[in-house]
């Protein structure tokens, strides 16, 4: 009996290939196989620690990390299902199989084992970042009651590490205390519509101004959309248009006053909701599926509702996942300029 779970994650452009034969050959020396092109996701050290956890476990657990490029164009879930079946058929052994396809899909298979791998994998994918397959895999192993890898360091190393960590933590705390922002300073809590970095808008007054700018732009988008309601499903389309207009009115009433940061965050959520309902109305008129409810594009809410999340590193900042529209996704992946 096979229990399969496939979870779609952020699609990424990766190179390299690992056919099922290469994976099975890799399992001859270690229960964890990582394609050389995927070591930025799972390092040699992480792979060794995962292998130490699952080595000798009953039932057997085998892990593979392969590039998303092995999934051909089309239905990625079906392609992942087929790929894992081919690996299992070559291995010809019962056990639990966990396969990570780069940043695209993670798939689990329980063969001859009564283990709810679908529920476990889905649960852990909800807890960890899409760019953290190691955390996801360790979470799955925790739920399977697989013991953690034993420490190999000498006994005196732990006290030393604790002292070092405390010193670092103290230094960071001191630095934060000296550089902490006053109430009306620091990174903007409201993301503006136009092209600026978040930390270029520092005061509450400036954040209010960017909020008013965004609401104004949303009103212009409503005017420009000019959704025609004749000869279409008036009930659904009209409801979407009315909801978008109500969101614009609600946001406008807030920014006309003197909102604090909590209210400004509510304004952003209201405008994003209104843009989504407007996109639903436009989709109904065009005869296309309504877009999923997602945040607006990080780089410019005027681009509309985002279609996926993308790892983005701002100049001088840290990598984080941001929602992007299809055009920005193509630009970031090199598909268009």
Q: What pLDDT is stored for residue 122 in this prediction?
A: 85
Tokens 């290939």 — which residue?
Answer: 17
| C-alpha torsion sign, points 292, 295, 301, 303 | negative
Higher pLDDT, 89 or 292: 89
Q: What is the pLDDT of residues 101-126, one digit of tens each?
A: 876 778 888 898 888 988 888 888 87
User: What is the C-alpha to C-alpha distance for residues 319 and 330, in angstroms, rounded to an integer?
Assistant: 19
Tokens 């996801």 — which residue?
Answer: 136
Q: What is the pLDDT of residues 246-260, one digit of tens each?
A: 999 999 999 999 988
Q: Which of 92-96, 107-111, 296-300, 332-336 has the highest mean pLDDT?
A: 92-96
Q: What is the pLDDT of residues 170-225, one digit of tens each?
A: 888 877 766 554 444 444 444 444 344 444 446 788 888 888 998 999 899 888 88
Name, in order, each residue with C-beta under 8 angstroms of 23's C-beta and a sequence gap of 6 or more: 33, 64, 66, 87
User: What is the C-alpha to C-alpha distance for residues 332 and 337, in angstroms, rounded to an integer?
Assistant: 9
Name, in order, each residue with C-beta under 8 angstroms of 227's C-beta and a sequence gap of 6 or more: 237, 241, 278, 281, 282, 285
Residue environment code for 273-285, b if the CB has 16+ CB neighbours within 10 A, otherwise e: bbbbbbbbbbebb
User: What is the C-alpha to C-alpha distance for residues 289 and 277, in angstroms, rounded to an integer?
Assistant: 13
pLDDT over 80 (residue 98): yes
Question: Which tokens go with 125?
Answer: 């994918």
Three-state DSSP at 310 gives: strand
CA 252 → CA 245, 259, 293, distances in Å? 10, 11, 22
Three-state DSSP at 263 gives: helix
């Amino acid at each position: 009996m096979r229990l399969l779970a496939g979870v779609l994650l952020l699609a990424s452009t990766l190179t390299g290939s690992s056919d099922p034969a290469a994976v099975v050959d890799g399992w001859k020396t270690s229960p964890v196989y990582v394609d050389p092109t995927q070591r930025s996701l799972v390092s040699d050290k992480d792979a060794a620690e995962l292998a130490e956890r699952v080595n000798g476990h009953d039932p057997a657990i085998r892990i593979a990390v392969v590039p998303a490029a092995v999934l051909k164009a089309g239905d990625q879930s079906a392609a992942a299902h087929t790929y894992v079946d081919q690996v299992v058929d070559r291995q010809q052994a019962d056990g639990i199989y966990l396969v990570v396809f780069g940043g695209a899909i993670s798939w689990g298979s329980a063969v001859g084992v009564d283990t709810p791998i679908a529920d476990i994998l889905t649960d852990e994918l909800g807890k960890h970042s899409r760019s953290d397959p190691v955390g996801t895999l360790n979470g799955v192993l925790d739920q399977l009651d697989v013991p953690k890898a034993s420490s190999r360091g000498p006994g005196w190393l732990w006290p030393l590490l604790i002292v070092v960590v405390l010193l670092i933590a103290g230094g960071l705390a001191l630095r934060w205390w000296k550089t902490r922002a006053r109430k009306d300073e620091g990174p903007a809590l409201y993301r503006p519509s136009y092209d600026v970095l978040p930390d270029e808008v520092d005061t509450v007054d400036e954040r209010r101004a960017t909020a008013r700018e965004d609401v104004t732009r949303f009103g212009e988008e409503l005017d420009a959309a000019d959704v025609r309601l004749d000869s279409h499903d008036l009930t659904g389309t009209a409801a979407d248009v009315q909801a978008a207009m109500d969101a614009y009115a609600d946001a406008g009433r807030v920014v006309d006053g003197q909102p604090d940061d909590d209210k400004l965050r509510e304004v952003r959520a209201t405008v994003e909701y209104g843009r989504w309902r407007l996109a639903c109305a436009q989709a109904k008129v065009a005869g296309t599926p309504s877009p999923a409810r997602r945040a607006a594009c990080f780089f410019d809410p005027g681009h509309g509702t985002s279609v996926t999340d993308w790892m983005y590193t701002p100049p001088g900042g840290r990598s984080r996942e941001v929602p992007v529209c299809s055009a920005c996704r193509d630009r970031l992946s090199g598909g268009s300029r």
